[in-house]
Amino acid sequence: MLQPVDPLGEALYYLRMTGLFYSRCAFTAPWGLDLPAMPGFVLFHAVTHGSCWLDLGDGDEVQLRAGDVVLVPHGAGHRMTNHPSSRAISLWDTPRTAVSERYDLLQIDGGGERTDLICGAVRFEHAAAANLIGVLPKVLRIESGASAQGEWVQSTLRYMATEARTLRLGGEAVITRLSDVLVIQAIRSWLEESDAARGGWLGALRDEKIGRALTAIHRDPAREWSVAILADEVAMSRSAFAARFTELVGQPAMTYVTWWRMQVALGLLREEGITAAEAAGRIGYNSEAAFSRAFKRTLGFSPGAARAQVPEPVLPAWTT
């Protein structure tokens, strides 16, 4: 039998990210930055000096101070300004110095008070991560000293600010990796503290029985699963397990098993470049033809297309 599942650890395990860009921003007032919508990406801003405002354009402005970290989890377009009345220019039109392929120094010199930020856009590839990101609020903020993670966040930001100022050898790698850690930490804090994290897929992971079943599926997708075997794994009757799984996850158990297998196969095809036949064998299919049919039925495109392109993450029906 499985050991008790760590639901937060299980959810966070899939938050392996790819960065689109990272920027150190050195601005003096008046200044404003207009960031376009980036569907599929999580945008973040860490304020290392000074203060600023974030505006999603819906009348809900948020003031940020040194030490604050804020995420815009759904890639919504927004403005960052020194004051709500300041004019903003497009991110792509902002004067910049390329430090590396994915790391820039952005500068706006208005001559007034200084604000320094570390900003970026990252993407989580795995569909399980999309499940998690989908339930996050439109803005997720960790305030300076406002949580048990506060001092850790502050020390990380101080280290990042020092690296950004000095641009030592390897500084870009340090800043981008610490930025990724800050994003994960912000999401982790929300998971621990928010009531909204106790429903849906996350709520199912927290359930003593269904959480174990989900973990078993995730860790061994190639096993010849059935409702009876899954029910036995968590010491439930078949009928009670089937009803509870569907109630909590929003999808029958075997439909979820198929969906999960296809997500694993998608990752194998893209990241390892293996053939459809090899992917089929890795997730428990003896027939490449049966695998290809299930893959296209579940994801909407063929295994061959998966290797040739990177479409938007395919979310299961229960997340929409």
19 bridge partner residues: 122
Domain topology for 207-319: Arc Repressor Mutant, subunit A (1.10.10)
- Whole-angstrom Cα distance, residue 180 to residue 118? 11
Residues listed for the chain:
320
- 3-class DSSP state for residue 79? strand
Q: Is the peptide bond before 30 cis (omega within 30 degrees of 0)?
A: yes
Residue 226: per-residue pLDDT: 97
Cα(108)–Cα(295) distance, integer angstroms: 49
- pTM of the predicted structure, to 2 decimals: 0.75
Sheet with 96-98, side-by-side order of all strands:
96-98, 103-109, 17-28, 114-124, 42-49, 69-72, 140-142
Predicted local confidence at residue 151, as pLDDT: 67
The DSSP letter of residue 57 is S
Each domain of the chain, given as residue ranges in start order, spans 7-197, 207-319
Please give the pLDDT value at position 147.
57
Furthest C-alpha separation in the chain: 70
CATH topology of domain 7-197: Jelly Rolls (2.60.120)
E strands along 184-312, which residues?
none
pLDDT along the chain (320 residues), means of 10: 60 74 92 93 92 89 91 94 95 88 89 94 77 84 68 73 68 77 82 73 85 90 96 96 94 94 88 87 94 93 77 42
Are the beta carbons of 67 and 144 closer than 8 angstroms? Answer: yes
Looking at residue 171, its pLDDT comes to 65
